[in-house]
Structure 1
C-alpha cells in the first residue's frame, strides 16, 4: 500500500517569481524546516498529512507538490513505461476523477498536452488492469491532480495536493480591472514590514485586494478558512478528521483583539462597492473603512508607524502618459504633506513614471506582476525638517 499520507518525502511548494523570500518566512513560521529554497519556491521533506496544514495556512504559495517518483525518460514511450510501474490503483479511486498538469521541456514533445495524455493513459491503463474499471479524467483541477515535471531526460511525477492554485484566496468573486493576485498582495504587505497594529492606508484600492489582505494578516485569518476543497481530499488514504482539526485551529487562531485602522479609498463608487463585497466574502468588511474620494482626500490617521500603499495604474512600459505623470507627482506631494511619520509605498511597473513621484526611495523591492517587472518603492516620510533637506538634493 502506498502510504503517502504518513510518509515524509520530497515536497515542492511553488510560488510566483520573487515571492520566495515571503514563502520561506511563512513556512518557517509554521515550524517546518526548509531543505532548499529557489526563486520560485522551496523544498521540504514532509508527508501529505503535513501538506494539509501548509495548504490551509500559506498566503504566498501557488501549489504544493508531493513527489512520488523521479526517473529518466528520453521520450513519451519511456515516460509511459515508468509511470505504469506506479501503484496508481492505491492512490486514485477506480470510479474517481483526476486531472494532469505539467511543466515540460523535452525535445520530443511539441505540446505539453501530449505529455499530459501520456500520463493520463499510464494511470488509466494501470488502474483498468488492476481493478477492471477506469477513472474519468479531464481538465478540471477540482478533484485529484497529478503533476509532471519533465526537463530533457529528467522526469518527476507528483501529487499536486492543492489542485486549484493557492495564490487566489477565494474571496474575490468580482475582480476589478487589472487586479493584483492575492499572493502578490500579501507579499507586498509582508515586504512593507507593516506590524499589523499601526494604520494601513490603501488609496486607489480598486477591487480592495491590498486592504483585504492587510485585514486578514492583522487578524491572523488564513486562506484555508475560505476554502473547502483541495486535491489531497480526492486521493485514497485521506483522513478528513485531520483536515477538520487543522481548520478548527485556524478558527481558534483568529486574533480577536481590536484590529488596526485599515482605510481603503477609490474615486470610483463601483470599485468601492466591489471592494465591500469582496471584503464581506473574506469576513473582514467590518475591519475596513471604505471611502469614495480622490486619493488626495483619503483620511490618514495621525499616528506614527503607519503604512500607506499605492498600487496605481502604470500604463504600458513605453511612452509615459501625461495624465499618469500628473497622478504620480500628486501621489508624491500627498505622501510628503499628509503622511508624515508613515512609510509610503508605491507599487509600479513603470520606472519612467516612478521618477515623477519626486521623493527618493529608501528601498526598491523587486516583484513581478504577471510577466511585468515591477518595483515596490519605499519612502520614509519623516516629520518636520528632515524631509525638506532630502527633497532639495533631488
Structure 2
C-alpha cells in the first residue's frame, strides 16, 4: 500500500482549478493541474482518500504503464507484462475503456480488444482460469489512453463514477450532477453560517452538497469503491480512514438550507434524499414559485441554483421571461446576498440584469453552461 505511483483524477471540463484546490487541501503530493483533471503521486491510501474526499472528481485512475506504442504487438506485450493479479481475481470480471488520437493505432475498439486479450492471457497463464469481460458491474475497469503513439494504461480505483454519491433515493428530471453542484457551492461566497437557498431545487442536489460541505462530511461515505474488490485490499486500514472521516463530520446546529420548487413530487423527493444523508432537521423544502420566495432583507444568504436551460426543461418562449423576472426579484429584494447560478447561455446571464459577476464555463453532463458567481 505504501508504494507511491502516479494517479490522475478526472473531472468535468472547467472544474480543473476547483479540483486542484481540493486536492491541495487534501495534501496530495506533486500536484499538477492538467486538461481534464489533476495529477498527483501517492500510495493507495492517498488514492483511497482522493476517492472518499474529493467532491468535484469523477474518477481516480492509478497509472500502471506509460510507453511508446507504435503498433498493437507492443501494446499487447506491455499489457501482458503487468501483474494483473494485484487488481483482478482470475475468475473476476473486467472492462477496458480505450481512447486514441493522432496515433498509428487509430481504432479504439481494436485497442480495447488487444488489451483484453493481454489481460486474459496473463491471468490464464498464471492460474489456468479465465476472467470474463463485463461492461456493467465489472470488478475492474482498465483505461487505455493513446495519444501521438504514447500509451498510458491505468486502473480505475473508483468503480462507479464519483458523482454517484450513494445517497440519492429520488432522481427527478434533469438533475444537476452532484460534482457540478459541489463546485457551485465551493466557488460561491457562502460563509456556511447564513442560509443557503435554492429556489429551483428539484431533487435537492445543490442543497445536499452544500450540507455535506458545511458539515465537513466526506462525499464518498455513502458508497463503495472499485478498489475494495481488489485482491489483497487492506480492509482494516481502509475502515480506519472511513471511520476518521465519519467522526470528523458535524453539521453547524443553526444552519438552514432552504429549497423551493413548483413540483410537489420534486419537493417530496428532495426530502427523501436529504433524509438519506441525515440532515433533515437543517433543510426545509416547500412547493412554490421561485419568484415568490419569502426573501428577508439583511439575511446575507447565498443563492445557489440551477436555472432552467430549455435544453432539457422549459420552452424557449418562457425562459427569457423567467430569467428577467427572477433577476428583477433578486435585485429588488436580496441586497447583500451572494449567488452562484448555473445558466445555459450568455443571453440568460444578461437577462438576469446583475451588475457584474465572475463567469466559469462548465459542462453539466453533455450540456454546456456557465456558472455565475457574485453579490447583489
Give me the TM-score of the superposition, normalised by structure 2: 0.93
Matched, 1:245 2:240: yes
Post-superposition shift, 1:160?
0.9
CA-to-aligned-CA distance 1:192-235 (integer Å, 9 cap, x gap)? 131211111100111111111111111111122111x2111222
Report what 1:260 is aligned to: 255
CA distance in 1, matches of 2:36, 2:69: 24
Report what 1:24 is aligned to: 20
Report what 1:72 is aligned to: 68
308, 323, 335: which one pairs with 2:318? 323
Q: Is the 8 A contact 1:268 1:292 kept in 2?
A: yes
Report what 1:386 is aligned to: none
Q: Is the 8 A contact 1:144 1:233 kept in 2?
A: no
Report the 3-state secondary structure (helix = DSSP H, G, I; strand = E; otherwise coil) of the residue aligned with 1:364: strand
Matched, 1:220 2:210: no
Against the structure 1 CA distance between its residues 362 and 86, is the aligned structure 2 distance closer, same or farther, given a 3 Å change threshold? closer
CA-to-aligned-CA distance 1:283-306 (integer Å, 9 cap, x gap)? 223221111111122233444432
Report the 3-state secondary structure (helix = DSSP H, G, I; strand = E; otherwise coil) of the residue aligned with 2:170: coil
CA-to-aligned-CA distance 1:282-330 (integer Å, 9 cap, x gap)? 322322111111112223344443211231112259xx93321111111
Q: Is the 8 A contact 2:84 2:119 kept in 1?
A: yes
Which deviates the most, 16-25 or 82-91?
A: 82-91
| Structure 1 residues 71-90: aligned runs within 5 Å | 71-90=67-86
Against the structure 1 CA distance between its residues 338 and 237, is the aligned structure 2 distance closer, same or farther, given a 3 Å change threshold? same
Report what 1:55 is aligned to: 51
Post-superposition shift, 1:76?
2.3
Unpaired segments of 5 or more residues in structure 1?
382-394
Unpaired segments of 5 or more residues in structure 2?
none
Report what 1:392 is aligned to: none
CA-to-aligned-CA distance 1:10-46 (integer Å, 9 cap, x gap)? 1111111111111111111112234311131111110
CA distance in 2, matches of 1:116, 1:10: 22
Give me the TM-score of the superposition, normalised by structure 1: 0.89
Q: Is the 8 A contact 1:10 1:46 kept in 2?
A: yes
Against the structure 1 CA distance between its residues 142 and 193, is the aligned structure 2 distance closer, same or farther, given a 3 Å change threshold? farther
Question: Number of residue pairs matched?
Answer: 374
